[in-house]
Structure 1
Amino acid sequence: MPASSSAAAPTHAAALLAPGFRFHPTDEELVSYYLRRRVCGRALRVDAIAEVELYKCEPWELPGLSRLRSRDLEWYFFSPLDRKYSSRSRTNRATAQGYWKTTGKDRDVSCGARVVGMKKTLVYHSGRAPRGTRTNWVMHEYRLEDSQLAKAGIPQDAYVVCRVFQKNGAGPQNGAQYGAPFVEEEWEEQEIANGVVLMPDAEDDDDAVDAHDQEYLEFNDLLQVTSRLSS
């Protein structure tokens, strides 16, 4: 295993998702809900994404920094952008032992007919450019393109949200959803050691949700729907 970098440990303890639950947000949800609220400094109803200086970490270190303890082989992070030059026109994506290289064109992330963000695909190369060795570590980097925030003067380029995975092997193929096999003994050991299962709090203050979030089903609404179906 390559030497560890000096990346800081996560600020929150890792949490568990109950068996059968997956954290697999769509591109739109990552941008319009998670990243938008992070940029605006608003609380998240489920604290599932760690904040990490992503480009100061090697990719094999990232699973240990994830907020979610899961054997689903994809991980999510908020990251500040490190600008390479004072002009802020280019981003520094070099780590101590390699670099993330952009592949393909950036793609729009849309909410209906409205573009709300951009999605960049990067592949990790070990060594130094331009002679680095391509690996199977892949990152999807999402940034906001929100006209409402721009009009309000809220900077959108300070943070990105990223999905990291391995393209080949046991992980998700090209970012597809992946569910790790259920191992009962493993969950029993984790429950004894931690006693924490990550789920939204049904008593969360509704004031924490702004008008932009109304597109997404609230947890309280889900409880009401399931209650009616079971009655």
Structure 2
Amino acid sequence: MSTSSHDQTGFYFYPIDSEVINCLKEKLLGRFERLRLPAGLIPDTINPYSYDPLTLPKGDDFEHVKRAFFFTNKQENRTVKDGFWRASTLPEKIFSTGQMLGFKEEFNFFWSIRNETIKTNWIMNEYSVNQAIFSEDERKAIGNKIGSYIVCELRYESEYDDLSDDDVVDDDDEDDDDDKSE
């Protein structure tokens, strides 16, 4: 029986980019369990490219943290039945303590319905490792997986996620302005 991170009171998995790369490195080396994260936190049995973001199994914690992670093989074809993932950024280098650990590339999901393309607020980040962070022996042991095995982070960005207090209009203020103009 797998334990979700929600089963551990007060635990939410909200890593920074370098921590995601470290998870991938440890997975490639067969040492992911050493990180002592809850079982099933980053599943490797779900191919996120086989689903649209609404039907993708995201785990119990998605409603709380609005992020889900998956270990998977990199794919060139990111098309599903009713949509596709399109790159929205060039790969970004991820650094920690001056060392380039890997890359992050962002994709947006688009619905493709009756010859109409509709951009959504679903975002997928693909994280890949820089092979230079492995020793020669580690590179030999891992083989071709270094370049093809990735972590995908799925998230939904609502239009209200980035609003500051200055962006919120107080209904009372609008009424006051209307009163002054009369």
- After TM superposition, the score normalised by the length of structure 1 is 0.57
Aligned to 1:115: 100
Aligned to 2:59: 66
1:78 has 2:61 as partner: no
Please say if 1:41 is aligned against 2:30.
Answer: yes
Once the two structures are superposed, what CA deviation does each residue of 1:61-112 show, in whole Å capped at 9, x if it has no partner? 23x3426465222211112223xxxxxxxx1111122110001221111121
Q: Given that residues 66 and 77 in structure 1 are in contact (C-alpha distance below 8 angstroms), is that contact kept between their aligned partners in structure 2?
A: no
Alpha-carbon distance between aligned partners in 2 of 1:81 and 1:73, rounded to the nearest angstrom: 23
Alpha-carbon separation, structure 2, partners of 1:68 and 1:77 = 13
Aligned to 2:118: 133
How many percent identity over aligned positions?
Answer: 21
Q: Is the Cα–Cα contact under 8 Å of residues 50 and 66 in structure 1 kept in the other structure?
A: no
* Partner in structure 2 of residue 158 of structure 1: 148
- How far the C-alpha of 1:148 sits from its partner, in A, is 4.1
The TM-score, its normalising length taken from structure 2, stands at: 0.71
Distance 1:69 1:140 in 2: 16
* Residues 119, 143 of structure 1: 8 Å contact kept: yes
Determine the C-alpha separation between the residues in 2 that align with 1:105 and 1:142.
12
Structure 2 counterpart of 1:57, one-letter code: Y
Q: As a proportion of its length, which structure holds more strand?
A: 2
Q: Given that residues 36 and 144 in structure 1 are in contact (C-alpha distance below 8 angstroms), is that contact kept between their aligned partners in structure 2?
A: yes
| Alpha-carbon distance between aligned partners in 2 of 1:144 and 1:43, rounded to the nearest angstrom | 15
Alpha-carbon shift at residue 150 of structure 1 (Å): 7.2
Go from structure 1 to structure 2 and tell me whether the alpha carbon gap of 1:111 and 1:13 turns closer, same or farther (over 3 Å shift): same
Q: 1:68 to 1:105 in 2, by over 3 A?
A: same
> Which of 155, 158, 166 pairs up with 1:168?
158
Q: Which has the larger radius of gyration?
A: 2
Structure 1 residue aligned with 2:80:
95
Aligned equivalents of 1:136, 1:22: Cα separation in 2: 22
Equivalent position SS for 1:135? strand
* In structure 2, C-alpha distance between the alignment counterparts of 1:105 and 1:148, rounded to whole Å: 21
Local SS of the residue matching 1:38:
helix
Q: Could you tell me how far 1:124 is from its partner in structure 2? A: 0.2
The runs of 5 or more residues in structure 1 that have no matched partner are: 1-11, 83-90, 174-231
C-alpha distance in structure 2 between counterparts of 1:150 and 1:131, whole Å: 48
Do the aligned partners of 1:108 and 1:119 also contact (CA within 8 Å) in 2?
yes
**Mind listing any 5+ residue stretches in structure 2 that lack a counterpart?**
163-182
Q: Secondary structure at the match of 2:107?
A: strand
Aligned residues: 150
